[in-house]
Structure 1
Amino acid sequence: MATTGTARRTGRIAGIGGGLVGYLVFVEFTSGVLQGYYIPLLTDIARYLGVNDADVNWLEAAQLMLSAIAVPVLAKLGDLHGHRRVLLWSAVATALATVALAFATSFPVFLVAWALQGLYVVWLPLQVALIWDRSRRTPGAAGQTRRATGLIVAALQAGAIAGALGGGQIGQSLGDHLWLVLVLPAVLVVGVCLVVAFRVPESEDRTGGTVDATGVALLSVILLVITGGLSFVRLNEGALWPWAVAAVGILLVVPFVAYELRQDDPLVDFRVLRSPAMWPVQLTAGLFGVSVLGAQGPLSTYARTDPAVYGYGLGLSTSEVSVVIGAYVISMLVGASQFSRVSRRTTPRSTLIGAATLTGTGYLLLVPFHDTLAQMLSCIAIAGLGSGALVAALPAAAAAAAPVGRTAVATGLTNTTKVIGGSFASAAFAIALASNVPLLADGSAGTAGSLSGYITVWVICGTTALLAALALLVVPKLAFSDPAVPETAEESRA
């Protein structure tokens, strides 16, 4: 009897992990490739499109802004019509955008394609919802979801490693044919479309309601006004009116929240956010997005900056930068793969606090230690450990805290707040890096970002991560944990 009970529990976990999650591992691996592949190539892309290093951040800002709008809409559609169906169509759109990137020859066209490619950010919350749908009827559902989420997030980080190393090496080898370098990721995304279409089962739970179109419009206006104001700051240095535009966008959040609270089926359910276990998670996701999404471009371009010309930077080649990014993502992989184990020995809440603290410490250490490759690798490894744990922990924590029928909305909201934080950070970082740029020896303006701008980036990333750790202190100690279930005599003998 004991053996049968143990086998039943093991078979249940294996069925979830080896069936559905086995296919989702490939999906999230491809997502990781997309996130890592282009980072070593950013300086090459900037030169190809005829823009400066600081302008690369506008690519991330546009992609994250669109993602912030799309994720809550697609997550809601997943809860309404099926998470697999929405996952498939978002994969098709991502594949088309990835192909378009390869053939774009101007910055505006590349910007639009890059933004549309960002629809892959909804993959993770939809996959967590699919996993939760399979496991929530079994004992220990929160723990199973954490373990499965850790597995697919580990695949994401592995994909980011492969993407960073592959992008750097392929970019170095085929640098004269950048279009070919850029088209290769599309092969994997097409594979995702096929896997989701023919191997991923549909979720069973459905909720009633409709998509809040007015809420979508209001959120779009807010993001456009804030990001537009920040872009005007970049184009009109010293003027005050662009800052006023951005401030108006921030003030528009007030009527947006008031409108959403009056809706029976809102785009962003702020009533869910009132939970003492939920709002700190969402706030953490927003603050975490500043570093995990906004700092990728600056890390890459700083490593490519030639110290012989500017007096700072590491002067690495495309292939060498891929090794740096790979090391960072390897540390994220370690953090993502260990968060479930650490959570079992402590609590999920303590793990989240520790992860945010590690992330903040790593970025703040870059302020004094950025002169050598060894210093930079050490700092980003510390930040990567914390970041990897947070990437894995936040969606699972939101799923555990969400009410029935709101899983995708809650997990999608972590991505929404994360990408909003990253979008605003990318725009702000573009402004910081474009200020105080040193002149070259011949008196002409350089293409690199300023050292003061890079230091500003690292300070902001470190500070926001530490603020997230403080916010998590108010979460109930046993939040996100499975309720204690007394062992039966049979389980004790097993």
Structure 2
Amino acid sequence: MSARVSLGALAGVVGFLAFVEFTSGVLQGYYTPMLTDIARHLSIPDADVNWLEGTQLMLSALVVPAFAKLGDMVGHKRMLLISTALTAAASAALPFTDSFPVFLAAWALQGFYVVWLPLEIALIWSRTRGREGRAVLTARAAGLLVAALEIGAISGALIGGALVDALPLQLVLAIPAVAVVACFFVVLFGVRESPETTGGRLDTVGLVLISLALLSFTGGLSLLRINGPTDLFSWGVTLIGVALVVPFALWELRHHDPLIDVRMFRSPALGPVFLTAGLFGVSVLGSQAPLSTFARTDPTVAGFGLGTTGFQTSLIIGIYLIAMIIGALLFPAISRLVTPRVTLIGAAVLVGVGFLLFVPFHSAYANVVMNMVVVGLGSGALVAALPAAAASAAPATQTGVATGLTNSVKTVGGAIASCAFGIALFQGSLGAEGGGQTAASFSGYLTVWIVCGVTALVAAVLLVFVPKQAFTDAAADVAEASAQV
């Protein structure tokens, strides 16, 4: 089977989906340079910015399993349209409130955009069925989609950073809603539906069980952040969430058409991919707000930080995202030279090394840029590779679920990290000490960098145990043949 796939075939598969990911990137990059300004607008300390990230990640973890399964059942385009409409409504609400609870609710609902990429990868995998070099085609398409995402994130970060220094915040917050509305019509008129759907009925019992588990678990983490790590009630709520996974798994094993086929977690190829996604979520999602607030912190007041403006912060983010684009586009090429598994291992190592470099090198603008380039190369490859790897290794009827699970587990990892990092940053902060400032603690930032680095290296070790030929066309053909028996 040839690994060469024509550019025309690739363009036919990707189509207008690149614009969807460009819009997703705008949402992900636009707000980051202005998080400190948003905190001042809402009259909250820097550490509480993590509430925005944490609640959005929690909602994302809840909606992805349902939307991924419904994508397999009723069509991936249909679920793209619904999630885009919900994201547009939430984005439009942000400029009209200075109430933290209302802003928090709208920000959380905006998190529906996280289902876009897994739905798109599942749609691409479905439409490439029967084509030569299917795994390579999906990997290349994933790389292009992630490149579009990061170009959108760069554009969003640069525009957001420039506008927040020049215009009223409410006007700046209104701009992303326009992009999401445009995205809705692009999906409506430009994206073709999946050629095959599985039909059936949604496993509502499984959805309720996993939702209760995730709500209890992430809610317990949030209570730990409020009440402190010694609060027994908060730990109890968190542990209840973990315990609720057991009845969910037992129900899914008995169900003829489960929401999530938990047997996939036992797969020697898929299991490590899901674990890697969770560990990767710690760094790619949990570290965003801390990195932004660290750069904006005034070193003459706090004794650390870079004291950057909104635009200077956006430049750091822009360089990081350019590195992610390069990593995403290099992933399929390097995978052909070695294997997808080895490429994933190398990407995880880059993320780990990049974050650990922050420990000795963080006092200068150039230090932070250098570290973020290393992190970005690895992160870009992982963002593209994980859903594509899951699609190639999953049963034919569970493609959307498998790609969605990479995002679900990633967002759970990010939500855990966001809550934990919020606690770490608040302990010993200037505001907590009554200094009248809102800067977080330096020891908290050290904790963020070390945890992000170590979890990425653990992910690299897990991927060593994946079968050598996993995520290739040969492995995908075996998986589909087994599913048809």
Per the normalisation by structure 1, the TM-score is 0.93
**Structure 1 counterpart of 2:325, from 321, 333, 349:** 333
**Structure 2 counterpart of 1:133, from 103, 109, 126:** 126
SS of 1:475's partner is coil
**Structure 2 counterpart of 1:350, from 321, 324, 342:** 342
Q: Deviations over 1:78-119 (max 9, x none)?
A: 111111111111111111111011212211111111111110
Given residue 45 of structure 2, which amino acid in structure 1 is its aligned partner? N
Contact kept, 8 Å, 1:41 with 1:171, in 2: the verdict is yes
Larger Rg: 1
Q: Deviations over 1:57-95 (max 9, x none)?
A: 111111111111101101111111111111111111111
Distance 1:317 1:448 in 2: 15
Shift of 1:445: 4.0
SS of 2:396's partner is coil
1:289 equivalent to 2:284? Answer no
- Residues 201 and 98 from structure 1, CA distance in 2 versus in 1: closer, same or farther, beyond 3 angstroms? same
**Structure 1 match to 2:152:** 159
Distance 2:364 2:6 in 1: 46
Q: Deviations over 1:142-176 (max 9, x none)?
A: 111111111111111111111111110111111xx
**Structure 1 match to 2:481:** none
**Structure 1 counterpart of 2:169, from 166, 172, 178:** 178
**Structure 2 counterpart of 1:85, from 66, 78, 82:** 78
**Structure 2 match to 1:481:** 472
Please say which of residues 321-330 and 443-452 is displaced more in the overlay: 443-452
Shift of 1:239: 3.0
Contact kept, 8 Å, 1:437 with 1:445, in 2: the verdict is no
Distance 1:164 1:224 in 2: 31
1:436 equivalent to 2:436? Answer no
1:227 equivalent to 2:218? Answer yes
Given residue 202 of structure 1, which amino acid in structure 2 is its aligned partner? E
List structure 1 segments (4+ residues) > 6 angstroms apart after TM superposition: none
1:277 equivalent to 2:269? Answer yes
**Structure 2 counterpart of 1:208, from 196, 199, 204:** 199
Distance 2:438 2:252 in 1: 44
Distance 1:32 1:462 in 2: 24
Contact kept, 8 Å, 1:169 with 1:318, in 2: the verdict is yes
Given residue 185 of structure 1, which amino acid in structure 2 is its aligned partner? P
**Structure 1 match to 2:356:** 364
Shift of 1:439: 5.9
**Structure 2 match to 1:393:** 385
RMSD between aligned residues: 1.7
**Structure 2 counterpart of 1:471, from 452, 458, 462:** 462
Distance 1:473 1:20 in 2: 31
Given residue 203 of structure 1, which amino acid in structure 2 is its aligned partner? S
Distance 1:14 1:42 in 2: 40
1:407 equivalent to 2:423? Answer no
**Structure 1 match to 2:483:** none
Contact kept, 8 Å, 2:225 with 2:420, in 1: the verdict is no
Distance 2:467 2:99 in 1: 51
SS of 1:184's partner is helix
Shift of 1:137: 1.2
Given residue 107 of structure 2, which amino acid in structure 1 is its aligned partner? W
Distance 2:218 2:474 in 1: 43
Contact kept, 8 Å, 1:23 with 1:195, in 2: the verdict is yes
Distance 1:76 1:234 in 2: 32
Contact kept, 8 Å, 1:88 with 1:196, in 2: the verdict is yes
SS of 2:474's partner is coil
Given residue 294 of structure 1, which amino acid in structure 2 is its aligned partner? G
Shift of 1:124: 0.4
Shift of 1:257: 1.9
Given residue 208 of structure 1, which amino acid in structure 2 is its aligned partner? G
Distance 1:58 1:129 in 2: 31
**Structure 2 counterpart of 1:18, from 11, 28, 48:** 11
Given residue 85 of structure 1, which amino acid in structure 2 is its aligned partner? R
Distance 1:477 1:19 in 2: 31
- Residues 187 and 240 from structure 1, CA distance in 2 versus in 1: closer, same or farther, beyond 3 angstroms? same
**Structure 2 counterpart of 1:418, from 405, 410, 423:** 410
**Structure 2 counterpart of 1:456, from 447, 452, 457:** 447
1:383 equivalent to 2:375? Answer yes
Contact kept, 8 Å, 1:32 with 1:155, in 2: the verdict is yes
Distance 2:188 2:9 in 1: 19
Unaligned runs of 5+ residues in structure 2 are 476-485
Given residue 167 of structure 1, which amino acid in structure 2 is its aligned partner? G
Distance 1:375 1:179 in 2: 33
Q: Deviations over 1:433-492 (max 9, x none)?
A: 111113699x534211111111111111111111111110111111111239xxxxxxxx
Shift of 1:244: 2.9
Contact kept, 8 Å, 2:13 with 2:128, in 1: the verdict is no
**Structure 2 match to 1:491:** none
